[in-house]
Chains A and B, each alone.
Chain A
């Protein structure tokens, strides 16, 4: 295999095209070589054949000459016997001419013999001798015949021509021998050539096959090995193994391809790492901000969630998400919102935004804020891409902030710590003072001479009463300053006012107050703390009653009115015909924390104002054009900050979300 790899490396220097061309070239050359050798053999055989042919031609020419010569001689003999002079004269020349042509042909044939042929050197001279003597011979014979010296003719023929026959025959035999030699040589040559051809063909075939095989193997390997590496590399890449590198050998196209491939892998690895990093950032960001993302293919209701969204919903990552699954987590009171959203999405709206709650299995509630945007995917199908944020902590802190703010405003409005202490002290000190005064009086009465028992008894009684009053003060203070959340409820101000009126009716009647009321019939409901608002109304009633306590020259009329203002507010007014107030004293009016009455303590205008302001309303007083003053407060029907608006649902008041 070493030779193969070395061959591969060696071959690897060339590009594939030239490599293959080179192989073909080598094979073709080998075959041509084989052909060349064959042609050489054929040439040799051919050459032999030519020689044989040439010698054959010589033989034929000589043999013809011999035949014609013998014929001449025979004819001459006949003519001599017949003593045919005419015949002799007539036939001698053509026969001589014929022989001449035979001699020419023979000479021709001889001249055509290959140079290296060992031809019998006597042939030509013999023939030429005959050629040279023949005409004179014939002339002589003819002359003798004409002289009718037939004896001399016959003598001449026998002595001079006949012996020539033997020479000619010897000549022929010599040429024959030559021919035979050549023939033998030819046969041998043929046989040898046959062998050689066999060898050549076999050798060429085998050699060519071997070379072709080896070359083919080498070249194939030089191509398939890098290809195999490429395949392995591609498979590794497909599996996600970025560390795999393809070994590159040589510098042909495959090597270039391998290098390019390796570069590509490095680049891909980089990109992959970048993607993973930004995915990690995104996931981390989602986790930090508690935002999850989702995609929702409407036609098939295929929903995909990011990891953070699973975490928000408290579901295991990778769970198949269906609308039912989502619905199982949505707070029952907000399910209608979800159905509404699904309907709008299926109707193909371009964006939607919702807030709704989740009810988790452990009973806790999460607030979610959801936004989504419509997209068409590659096949034109409607798909929503969106994000969901867990805004529970924000909502909780918003509510806590609102609560703290209202608490703060209430507390700061009503009192700072020093002033609070002062007001508590003030309220407690009143009965305390009574106690001390009465007790002191009691002591003095008892030490009088005689002791004033009745007086002492009375003062003692008053002491006890004041003690109780003090404790009432504490209790009322405690209730008033208890950190109870305002209990907002949907209520009707008319009903609340009527209740207060009925409760304080006896008091009012005792003070000879004439109560009238004009309560609006279509008064819209308001959302507020019933107890607190009733305390405010009570305060206003008492103030009105007090203001009229010294009035005797006219009926102590007290008018309560309620009316709707501006479509979204409600106003309650308490009008009296009492002593009224001057503009200068109005501030002092509202500084009063409490009013002190025999039946204990009620809230003053300062606290009343705080309560109304906590309901996002106003409390104010205006002097009447006639005697007395009118105290009014106005509050909005749906104070913001206490509940949700628009699509959000108020857990305590589902109906409050309307209008």
Chain B
């Protein structure tokens, strides 16, 4: 496929939504950003998203873990790479148990992210 795979970034932090897409574009992806899990669910990107880069803590609504559960329930098996600033082992364990590809702590290096992406989207 010459078309660049679609990545969806869901994070309430605006600086993440600013900086991450450029990096991902450098990696060769197309990117859509969403500021909340609800926004993502309401969008039409679910089907096309090859990989979800998901923040854990998103106050005011569904958390990343909630979205992960919701997608599984809905049968939408999108590979998820979690990014978070909080070091909480329990959350990490649960996320991985629920099938997350990778659980990255901010700040993460670009190589770590690339590795995770390669694992999530092997076709690239």
Contact = CB atoms under 8 A, between A and B. Distances in A.
A612 to B, nearest CB: 18
Interface in A550-608: 550, 579, 581, 585, 588-589, 592, 595-598, 604
Contacts of A432: 106-107
Interface in A407-453: 422, 425-427, 429-438, 440-441, 444-445, 448
A596 B19 CA distance: 16
Interface residues of B, number: 31
Given A441-B23, A579-B60, A426 B86 contact: yes
Given A436-B107, A444-B26, A546 B15 contact: no
Nearest to B36: A550
Q: Which of A422, A429, A435, A543 has the most CB of B within 10 A?
A: A429
Contacts of B107: 429, 432-437
B38 interface: yes
Contacts of B15: 430-431, 434, 462, 465-466, 469, 598
Contact of B85 (A429, A458, A581): A429
Contact of B23 (A430, A437, A579, A596): A437
B109 A440 contact: yes
A459 interface: yes
B19 A427 contact: no
A546 B60 CA distance: 8
Contacts of A437: 16, 19-20, 22-23, 107, 110
A547 interface: yes
Contacts of B39: 550
Interface in B3-20: 12-16, 18-20
A459 B38 CA distance: 29
B85 A426 contact: yes
Q: Which of A455, A579, A596 has the most CB of B within 10 A?
A: A596
Contacts of A598: 14-15
A549 B105 CA distance: 27
B83 to A, nearest CB: 8
A441 B106 CA distance: 16
Contacts of B87: 422, 425
A604 B16 CA distance: 20
B30 interface: no
Contacts of A547: 60
B110 A436 contact: yes
A604 B13 contact: no
A458 B18 CA distance: 11
Interface in A440-490: 440-441, 444-445, 448, 455, 458-459, 462, 465-466, 469
B46 interface: no
Contacts of B105: 429
Nearest to A435: B107
Q: Which of B14, B19, B35 has the most CB of A within 10 A?
A: B19
A460 to B, nearest CB: 11
A430 B109 contact: no
Contacts of B22: 437-438, 441, 445, 455, 458-459
Contacts of B12: 596
19 contacts: A425-B85, A425-B87, A429-B107, A430-B13, A430-B15, A433-B16, A433-B108, A436-B108, A437-B22, A438-B23, A441-B26, A445-B26, A462-B15, A462-B19, A550-B36, A550-B38, A579-B60, A592-B59, A598-B15
Given A438-B22, A592-B59, 5 more contacts: A429-B105, A433-B16, A436-B110, A440-B109, A596-B12
Interface of A: 422, 425-427, 429-438, 440-441, 444-445, 448, 455, 458-459, 462, 465-466, 469, 543, 546-547, 549-550, 579, 581, 585, 588-589, 592, 595-598, 604
